[in-house]
Structure formats: C-alpha cells, structure tokens
Amino acid sequence: MDNMDIDSLVMLYGKAVYGFCLRLAKNKDNADDLYQETFLKAMELGTKIDKSNNPKAFLISIAVRLWKNNRRKYARRQRIAPEGELNEEIASSIMCTNTSTPEEIVMLRERCAVIRTAADKLNDKLRIPLYMYYTAEMSVEDIASALRIPQGTVKSRLHKARKNLKNVLEDY
Amino acid sequence: MDKNEQLEKLLKQALSSTAEPSEALNLKIKYRIKERKAMKPVRRRIAVALIAAFTLIMSGSAFAAWKLLSPKQVAENFGDKTLAKAFDSVNAVQINKSVTSGDYTFTLLGMTSGKNLSDFKSSVQDIHPDRTYAVVSIERKDGSPIPAMSDENYNEPPFIVSPLIKGQKPWQVNIFTMNGGYSECVVDGVIYRMIECDSIEMFADRGVYLYAGIGSFIDNQTVSYNEETGEITLNANNKEAGALFELPLDVKKADHEKAEQYLKDLLNPASESITGDETVNDSEYVSDWGSEFANGIVIPESIKEVTYDENGLACYEYNGSKVGISLDFLFKDGEAGVWKIVSINGDGEDQIAIQFMKDENGVVTGRAVKKAK
C-alpha cells in the first residue's frame, strides 16, 4: 500500500475537498473548519489512505460524516455568520464561462444563483449527493461507496434533485 | 444540445467551485498534524487556590492497568523530561489501582514527590519547593472513547482529582488549597490527568487519600467526613461516579511539625488585597498566586454577581471556567471591597484568575483577571 502524506493529499485533493466543504457549509468559517477537520481525521485514519483506494472519495466521505455529526454546531455558526464570501467565489467562476454577450452573462448568473439557492434548500439526502456529483466531481459509484448506499439510490436521489432544480428554473 | 444536456451544463456551472483553501489554512493543518505526531496532547494547566470541594460514589474492584500509559509516558507527553525521569526513579510509586464507578473507571497510575522534579515551575515552588505529582487515568467503562480535547464535548462531564488528608475536612484541605494544579491530555480516548500540589509526604503518618470523580468541587455531597475519627469516605448518597484511593506513603517521610505548621498557614490564609476596577496594582498582594496577577487586566464583561447552589457554595462561571466555593474562609468578618483570588486557570502564559469581592452589603461579585505578560 502506498500511503499518502498530508502534503500530497492537500496538493492533489485540497481544492476539490475545499470546494465541497464550502458548498456544504455555506460560509467560509464553517468551510475552513470542516476542511481542516476532514484532513485531520483523514490522517488519524492514515493507514486507510493509499493512492489506489480513491483518496478523494475517502476525504469527501469524511467531510460528509463530520458535517452530519456537527450539523448543529455549524448551523449555530451559520446563524451568527451567514454567507457572504461564497458569493464572490461564485461570481468569479461564472465570469470564466464562454457565454458571448453581456446580457447572456447576466442571465446565466441569475440562473446559476437560482440553482444554488434552490440546491441549498434541498434536504441533505438530495443535497449531499448533488454536491458530491457536481462540486466534488465524484462518480455515482464513488458516491454510493462513500455514503454506503446502493448506486441505484444515488441515481434516484440525483434524479430527484435535478428534477427539483429543473422545476425551480422553469418557474423562474 | 437537448434540454437535459443544457440542464446538466448549467448545474455544473452553478455548483462547481473555483474556491481554494488559503495557504495559511493548509499550513495550519500540517502544523496540527505534526503536533499530533509529536505525541504532545494539548497541555492544560489549571491551578486553583482557596476553599472548594467535590464529590462522588464508587463501587467496583481493582484491576491491572496494563493497557494504559505509565506516569513516565504521561509526563513525557507533556514535554516534562525531568518529571518523566522522576516517575522512573526509585522514589516514585507505581500504583496501578483501578476503581470502576458509574460509567467510568479511574486508575491511580503512580505518584512521586520531591524538590525540583518538574521542568515547569511556578512561583509557588519558591515557598513550597516540595511537590507531589500523581497521574490518574479516566476511561469509560464501556470502552467508548472520551472526546478529544479539540472536541466541543470535551470536559463534559468535568472531573476533579484531589488529595485529601485524614483528620482534615476535605472541603478545607484539598487540591485547591494545597496550591494544586493539573495537566491533562486525552490519548486513545482515555483522559490522563497529572495533578501536582504541595507535597503530601509530610502527612504520611496521618493517612492521605486521593479522590477522583465527576464534578468541579469537593463538598459534603461528594465525600463524607467523620469528625470523630477524621476518616474520609465517599458519600454513599452521591449519584455521580467517583473513587477514593488510599495512598501508600512511606511513614518515615512524615514530618508532623511541618505538617502542623502547613495546616495552620493553610487554614488561616493571608488576605490577598486587590482594589481598583481596571487594573490590579495593589502592592500589598501577598499571595503566591496573587503576585502573578498583581498587574493583571480585568475583563470588564466578566464582572457579575455570584450565584449560590443548594449547598451554599458561591458559584461563578466565566468563559468555561467554573468556580464553586465556600465563602466561610474567604472573607474575614467585616471585610469588604477586597478582591480575593479563588481560582487560576489557563494555558501556560495565558492565565486567568477568578476573583471574588464582597461589598459592604454582603453582595459577592466575581470577575476574571488576565495575567499581564
């Protein structure tokens, strides 16, 4: 087994894990905390991390468990320090798209904002697989493995989430 | 591109993230991991002065503590090489006696006494150079891990470990009054608490106990004191977990006269006089602990009136530091407007003293004072 050290883990998967934490936690303080705890926990379980065993999925699954275990703590902080910095990050990501006209960029931003708001309102059963799939870019198989649920269930939850978001967009 | 493909593309755009963790955050993680690897659990030192008390019930049997860290290893974990050596010397006593009470198993691992045994010194040692160090482990009976110090559930419930002297009221003579303190770490789900206080060897001919249990104070709900015999026992009515160990001290090391003088000084404490609201600068501050806070900074938001529990103990809490003490010995008759230190806690340099003051109407107010650097 080729065990990975913390430098390699952070370098290779830091961005993906952080993006996921930020999406899940909704604000920077909670995201920083969750990200940090995820890597600390991962190193505690160090013998289980090897390159051939999908470390990203392993890290994301830890983040999900920590999130679920500490939901009350994060929720409390969320009430004290709601989102903010997250919006800047999102705006910059949309500016990088190839949409041609300024009007289309504005429209795309608005639609993206609607999707994110709607996604945040989904319950965790739908929201977490959604972020694992689109934000952390995990496969259905990896999500199933991380959440310890059948692949069919992951597909069904993703489908429900998409349908929900589609309905919101149509109403918009 | 059909509608589903468009939706898919839109979802990817909306939910992907370009955010990156800051370099400082990554460095912090690496530092914390390095720290953990160095096997140095968080050092937490708490020293408390003056009268307090605590409690508990015990039932159970003794068993070997083969799987636990030794006192030497615990001292090493705290980075105290001198003390680690002392626990390995012939003067140290390896005890390894366990008692299970309630949901917890308390194990008295070992103890040692003497001068200059620790790398960490406080001004108390200028007055009382002989110190006793004892290590107690606390485990959950069902084997589940006790939360780590970084966990928000750490210190729930709080535990207290204190020596008690036969023939002396436990609520008067305990770790709080004997210039005591402790360092604590959680390793593999087990709490290791290393207490230190003025040497208990001088009391060897009287009999010395070590109490360990749930609680923050020692009072008559925790232990019972027989006025006639001087025996101390666990209070059978106490519902909380606790254990009382009899310490195997060498009677030859007893010093009756020194012990008498010590008790006389302890039971008639010199008054620490502090006045002023913003800074503590009274030069008449005579306490060993008090001198370290002579120029301390009062935390304005900490100032509040104390409350009283069902046992009549004055209780105060600020930022997680809880104090519950009897006021019987704190203020002299008619003494008003004088701030007295009732506890000191904190981590290394960053220490905070809790002080009480009684005004002319008998109202007792508490406050926190940060040690000046």
pLDDT number for residue A67: 86
User: Which burial class, exposed, middle or buried, applies to B162 when counting CB atoms under 10 A from its CB (0-12, 13-18, 19+)?
Assistant: buried
**Residue B126 placed within a domain:** yes
pLDDT at position A167 over 70: yes
Residue B343: half-sphere exposure toward Cβ, Cα within 13 Å:
29
pLDDT band for position A147 (cuts 50, 70, 90): confident
Are B15 and A23 inside 8 Å of each other by CB?
yes
Of the two residues B58 and B38, the one the predictor is more confident about is B38
DSSP one-letter code for B292: T
**Which range scores top for mean pLDDT: A29-33, B15-19, B252-256?**
B252-256
Domain tally, chain B:
2
pLDDT 10s digits, B116-151: 888 876 656 667 788 999 999 999 998 888 988 777
Question: What is the CA B21 to chain-centroid distance, rounded?
Answer: 37
B200 with B236, same domain? yes
ipTM > 0.90, yes or no: no
Q: Are A4 and A51 in contact (CB under 8 A)?
A: yes
Specify the DSSP class assigned to residue B279: B
Please say if the pLDDT value at position A154 is more than 70.
yes
Name the domain boundary from B238, B267, B296. B267
How far apart (Å, rounded) are the C-alpha atoms in residues B290 and A50?
54
Taking CB atoms and an 8 Å limit, are A115 and B32 in contact across chains? no
In chain A, what are the domain boundaries? Answer: 6-171
Residue B45, pLDDT above cutoff 70 = no
List pLDDT tens digits, range B187-202.
888 999 999 999 999 9
Give residue B26's pLDDT band: very low, low, confident or very high (50, 70, 90): confident
> Which pLDDT value is given to residue A3?
53
In a domain, residue B323? The reply is yes
Joined together, the tokens standing for residue B236 give: 């059978």
Q: What is the pLDDT of residue A47?
A: 54
B16, B20, B33: residue with CB nearest A18: B20
Query: Do the domain assignments include residue B157?
Result: yes
Chain A: closest CA distance from residue B1 (Å): 15
Cβ distance B17 to A40 less than 8 Å, yes or no, reads no
Return d(Cα B276, Cα B45) in angstroms, integer: 28
Q: Are residues B174 and B321 in the same domain?
A: no
What domain range is B71 assigned to? 45-267
Q: In this structure, are B77 and B196 located in the same domain? A: yes
**Are residue B241 and residue B178 in the same domain, yes or no?**
yes
B240 and B293 belong to one structural domain: no
The predicted-structure confidence for A18-46, as pLDDT tens digits, reads as follows 999 999 888 888 889 899 989 888 887 76
User: B293 with B263, same domain?
Assistant: no
Distance of CA B180 to the CA centre of its chain: 8
Residue B128: other Cβ atoms inside 10 A: 16
If DSSP codes are grouped into helix, strand and coil, which group holds residue B180?
strand
- Let me know if residue B17 belongs to a domain: no
Is position B357 within any domain? yes
pLDDT exceeds 50 at position B279: no
Phi, psi of B345 (to 5 degrees): -145, 165
Residue B128 is predicted with a pLDDT of 76
Please indicate, yes or no, whether residues B216 and B326 belong to a single structural domain of this protein: no
Distance from CA of A134 to the nearest CA of B (A): 6
Rounded mean pLDDT, B216-229? 87
State the CB neighbour count (10 A cutoff) for residue B8.
14
- B98 pLDDT higher than 70: yes
Q: What is the fold of A6-171?
A: Arc Repressor Mutant, subunit A (1.10.10)
The DSSP call for residue A83 is S
Shared-domain flag, residues B144 and B249: yes
Distance from CA of B150 to the nearest CA of A (A): 10
**A115 vs B11: CB contact, 8 Å cut-off?**
yes
| Strands annotated E in A34-97 | none
> Percent of chain B at pLDDT above 90?
28
What does the pLDDT read at residue B52? 34
pLDDT at A48: 56
Q: Are residues A40 and B7, on separate chains, in Cβ contact within 8 Å?
A: no
Residue A48 touches partner B, C-beta closer than 8 Å: no
Q: Does the pLDDT value for residue B275 go beyond 50? A: no
Give the pLDDT score at B200: 94
pLDDT (average), residues B336-353: 74
Mean pLDDT of B157-169: 93
